[in-house]
């Protein structure tokens, strides 16, 4: 058994997150481990939130006040109902999909089905995690597409009711920077259906 298996897990996690080679990630983490302890993460700047209710689609999403609503991109998905982002910053986006239930399917089964589609579209590092979403049993799907030193990371939060499947999709070109913002958006998401 490897003596430093926990450290190697950290190296591999950094590789997945940054796209670095094993050697580069190892070098970076070894340098950090010999330096002084890290300072605590700075608090997010105070965000003013705006609730956007979509009663016709049975959900409400909270977005930062500076984000505007854009028309759904039906080329992305025929089930897309809303799209949000800052007009002057295209590094992050939030979309919401509402899909009919074609057959009885759990949020995990939905996430596994979506992972196949995302894999076909060039996304890798696919990870499905069962967790509460919008106050009900759900699933989080994480993935990323890397190209020419750039990354587009996606988090999709899925919940299923008796009548529909819901997906909150959050995409970022700066996933480490946006992780806490996305946590907040996901924590505030409301599925209003029974």
Listing DSSP states for 79-94 in one string gives TEEEEEEETTEEEEEE
Q: 52-66, 108-122, 177-191: which range is least confident on average?
A: 108-122
**pLDDT over threshold 50, residue 145:** yes
Same domain, 147 and 68: yes
Picking from 22-31, 56-65, 142-151, which range would have the lowest pLDDT averaged per residue?
Answer: 22-31
- On whether residue 161 sits in a domain, the answer given is yes
Q: Is 2 exposed, middle or buried (0-12, 13-18, 19+ CB in 10 A)?
A: exposed
Predicted confidence (pLDDT) at residue 75 exceeds the cutoff of 50: yes
CA angle 97, 103, 108 (to 5 degrees): 60
DSSP symbols for 56-115: TTTEEEEEETTEEEE---TTT-TTEEEEEEETTEEEEEEEEEEEE-SS---HHHHHHHHH
Say how far apart CA 124 and CA 109 lie, in whole Å.
18
How far apart (Å, rounded) are the C-alpha atoms in residues 144 and 134? 23
In angstroms, the first-to-last Cα distance of the chain is 50
pLDDT of residue 96: 97
User: What percent of the chain lies above the pLDDT cut of 90?
Assistant: 56
119: in domain: yes
Mean pLDDT (the chain) is 85
pLDDT band at 23 (very low <50, low <70, confident <90, very high): confident
Residue 40 within a domain: no
* Averaged pLDDT for residues 188-192: 94
Of 25-34, 52-61, 80-89, 119-128, the one with minimum mean pLDDT is 25-34
Closest to 193 measured CA to CA, from 51, 98, 69: 98
Same domain, 115 and 25: no
Total of domains in the chain? 2
What integer pLDDT is reported at residue 1 of this predicted model? 42
**Same structural domain, 100 and 58:** yes
pLDDT band (50, 70, 90) for residue 163: confident
CATH of the domain at 179: 3.40.1000.10
What are the CB-based long-range contacts (under 8 Å, 24+) for 19-26? 19/146, 19/149, 19/151
| Domain carrying residue 18 | 5-34
Q: Give the CA count within 13 Å in the CB-facing half-sphere of 87.
A: 5
Check whether residue 13 and residue 101 sit in a common domain. no
């Amino acid at each position: 058994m490897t003596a430093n298996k926990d450290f190697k897990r950290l190296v591999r996690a950094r590789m997945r997150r940054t796209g670095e080679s094993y050697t580069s990630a190892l070098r970076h983490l070894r340098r950090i481990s010999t330096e002084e302890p890290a300072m605590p993460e700075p608090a997010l700047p105070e965000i003013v939130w705006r609730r956007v209710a979509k009663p016709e689609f049975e959900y409400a999403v909270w977005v930062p006040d500076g984000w505007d609503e854009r028309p759904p991109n039906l080329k992305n998905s025929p089930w897309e109902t809303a799209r949000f982002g800052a007009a002057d910053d295209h590094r992050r986006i939030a979309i919401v999909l509402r899909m009919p239930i074609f057959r009885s399917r759990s949020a995990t089964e939905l996430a596994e089905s979506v992972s196949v589609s995302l894999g076909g579209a060039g996304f890798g590092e696919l990870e499905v995690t069962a967790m509460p979403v919008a106050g009900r049993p759900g699933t989080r799907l994480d993935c990323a597409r890397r190209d020419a030193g750039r990354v587009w990371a996606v988090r999709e939060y899925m919940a299923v009711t008796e009548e529909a499947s819901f997906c909150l999709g959050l995409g970022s070109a700066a996933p480490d920077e946006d992780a806490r913002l996305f946590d907040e958006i996901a924590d505030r998401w409301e599925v209003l259906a029974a």
